[in-house]
Amino acid sequence: MGASRYRPHVATTVRIPELDLARVRRFCHDRTPEHVREQVRLEAAVRGRSITMLECRPLWSDPNAEWTRMKIAQLRYHESARSWTLYWADRNQRWHRYWDLDPSENIGALLDEIDKDPTCIFFG
């Protein structure tokens, strides 16, 4: 009998480029004016090969409770192509590819698109 085609799944850790992550975090910090940071802020959360941008606000009925988090955009890293793809969240918090921008090796291009928000899909 020939060699087995079975290959056990080996978990690999894909790391998001640190410089790109730092750029996203800086974008989130700079996008929120200092005088409103107690009422709203933009945060970046990392999971696997994705960076999710979240709009965070205190609960209106209890400002001391944990803040609410609403998905704004997601940047997904493709290690083989060394590129990023942009996604947007619908009203049900499901992700959809943002088709107005091709994947890019330059995360700055995606951040510029989010900032400009020409379709009003990220910030309304």
Helices 107-116/18-31 angle, 10° precision? 20
3-state per-residue secondary structure call for 1-28: CCCCCCCCCCCCCCCCCHHHHHHHHHHH
Is the CB of residue 68 less than 8 Å from the CB of residue 56? yes
pTM given for the model: 0.84
Give the other-Cβ count within 10 Å of 84's Cβ: 26
pLDDT per residue, tens digit, the chain (124 aa), is 455 555 554 445 668 999 999 999 999 999 999 999 989 999 999 999 999 999 999 988 887 888 999 999 999 999 999 999 999 999 999 999 999 999 999 999 999 999 999 999 999 8
